[in-house]
Amino acid sequence: MTPTLIDRTRRTDAAPGKGADAAPGKDDVDAGAAPEKTPDAAPRRALGREADGLAVASFVLGLVGLLVFNIVLGPMAIVMALLALTRHTRRRGRAFLGLALGAADLAVLAALVTANGTVAWSIGG
């Protein structure tokens, strides 16, 4: 099933006395015609939502990564923040926070590896 677009600018029903190929005049107005929209408005809106989602996801992953799985969540937060920034997100602050938290995840990981000598760590002692 493929969606079809209806062209409302063409008139298929010719008025009496006019030919079917006659162009509609300036005074002819189709009351049922929808206003013209740009064809790429929907994909641009979807990309904006996707970029905003990437910014929020990078922030959340960076925040959670401070506590657990910072070896995985830190780089993921950095990549998602950079993708959101390159896609011109409206939530630039969250993307920058996700980027900073991802870097902080890696800094915490480096500090813990230096202190313990291992990647595994626990809060309890």
- Summarised one tens digit per residue, pLDDT across range 94-118 is 999 999 999 999 998 898 888 877 7
> Measuring CA to CA, which residue among 95, 93, 90 is closest to residue 77?
95
* Least trusted range by pLDDT, from 27-31, 44-48, 97-101: 27-31
Q: Is the pLDDT of residue 124 over 80?
A: no
pLDDT the model gives residue 69: 87
Q: Where are the alpha helices (DSSP H) in the chain?
A: 41-65, 70-86, 92-116
Report the half-sphere exposure of 103 (CA within 13 A, side-chain side). 7
Model confidence, pTM:
0.59
Q: Is the pLDDT of residue 65 over 70?
A: yes
